[in-house]
Chains A and B, each alone.
Chain A
């Protein structure tokens, strides 16, 4: 990947006290990671490996003490509009219509109304929600809600989009559709994305690079480049794409190692 690094993480470690016992939990150890402009980096690892912790630190929702984390050259202190997050659960506001949810970031940044309206319409069209502008989230399906969440994040035009298992809560059919759509959106918007998932298939399908995490304390175990052009990443062609199947099998093997070694303890 050419271009400059949008996200730089250096020697990041993280400990936090356990909610019940108060014991120190070692969540992350010596993370070094760079995400370049227009790059899609997928982080995959066993559950409880600290990948969500890493995302929360980058989002600014979790303060860190050891190591450094920078976005666009600025040290991360607290949440900000330069790092948009798509959460696993539905984080869109139930009391805002689809259009007002998508335009919320612009509203908070005091962007003029006329421009907001234009950009909101653009992203509504992009995620295929035309005609649903005035609906409220409770009137939408799970997949549509996540489309709103993605559009809301993109519309605020962040430097990097962080996605925390965004399709984990939808049904299998919808998931495949949303993954195909996300590919199309990535092509259309050329965004820099850090994507967290526990699904090996998803990581191999979406990522330009896959980072495999070890079990706790989370460390970067391996990095796998997946050299498939975006245009070719369509689910119906994937089964016959050796680049995809090889990468998927390799990642699966690495993740399995972590899960099995966990069982031996």
Chain B
């Protein structure tokens, strides 16, 4: 027992305890995935389900090359060449997420700050916000198709509608939670109304704004996929839908995996760094040790 303990301490000293804990966490998290992949492979071996229902892993991998088979190359893919099926759909979905974010997030923050600071404005906007949030984003799809037809306007509207209200609500709550004494401190240093927004309310609401961003990325991405399936003419959702109709299950699987991968990557490389740079550095969030 003591030998094991000594060995464990020696390893921890050599590699670093934090790094070991992190590696352990990654290991734990990957266990269910490994389990699923093994099950999947077993299904290919023993054919419990027909390949049309659950295609083999190799077919899903192959679908990438099948969908891109006519693509002349990387540059052509970036230029959205007509034959680069997969990359076009990915870029189309991503482009809409980015566009909706660029428009929806600043707009949501602006209205959220106004509503958080002003009781009258929040009196006007809060009930309609609750109403809008209670209606699930995808419930708007039929109406959006009537308004905008099938195409990018419909999917953009669905995303914007989802993102705006989430950011608006979270920002408003964040602004309200800013301690009054911080605002008074800046005022007594000679800060104007605008200064209090820039120096106090906006950074003070950051924890909530980031929560709002994370929620809108999740909900928005989901709403987008649904909107593309029903009211879109491109994008990963559209691709999944068309492939399913044509019984190309491996393409459906590929689409689903790509959707979750893109979400994971955007959370890790956009929101997490933003969190580190702002609220973690300022000590506004509790950090797990």
Q: Known: A93-B203, A109-B190. Contact between A87 and B184, CB under 8 A?
A: yes
Residue from A83, A84, A108, A136 within 8 A of B191 (CB atoms): A108
**What is the chain A residue whose CB lies nearest that of B181?**
A91
Q: Is A95 interfacial (CB-CB < 8 Å)?
A: yes
Within the complex, what minimum Cβ distance (angstroms) separates B109 from chain A?
16
Report the bound CA distance from A3 to B284 in whole Å: 46
Interface size class of B (residues with CB under 8 A): 20 to 34
**CB proximity to B under 8 Å, residues A213-245:** none
Residue from B179, B181, B190, B203 within 8 A of A156 (CB atoms): B190
Q: Is B200 interfacial (CB-CB < 8 Å)?
A: yes
Within the complex, what minimum Cβ distance (angstroms) separates A58 from chain B?
10
Interface size class of A (residues with CB under 8 A): 20 to 34
CB <8 Å contact, B188 and A80: yes
Within the complex, what minimum Cβ distance (angstroms) separates A111 from chain B?
11
Q: Known: A93-B199, A95-B203, A136-B281. Contact between A84 and B181, CB under 8 A?
A: no
Report the bound CA distance from A108 to B278 in whole Å: 22
Q: Known: A94-B282, A95-B282, A138-B282. Contact between A156 and B185, CB under 8 A?
A: no
Within the complex, what minimum Cβ distance (angstroms) separates B208 from chain A?
14
Within the complex, what minimum Cβ distance (angstroms) separates A134 from chain B?
11
Given contact pairs A93-B186, A156-B189, enumerate 19 new A-B contacts (beta carbons under 8 Å): A61-B184, A78-B187, A83-B188, A87-B185, A89-B179, A91-B179, A93-B182, A93-B203, A94-B284, A104-B189, A105-B189, A108-B190, A108-B192, A108-B195, A136-B282, A136-B283, A138-B284, A153-B189, A156-B190
Please name 10 pairs of A and B residues whose Cβ atoms are closer than 8 Å in the assembled complex, sorted by A: A59-B188, A60-B188, A79-B187, A84-B189, A94-B282, A104-B199, A105-B190, A108-B190, A136-B281, A152-B189
Residues in chain A within 8 A of chain B (CB atoms): 59-61, 78-81, 83-85, 87, 89, 91-95, 104-105, 108-109, 136-139, 152-153, 156
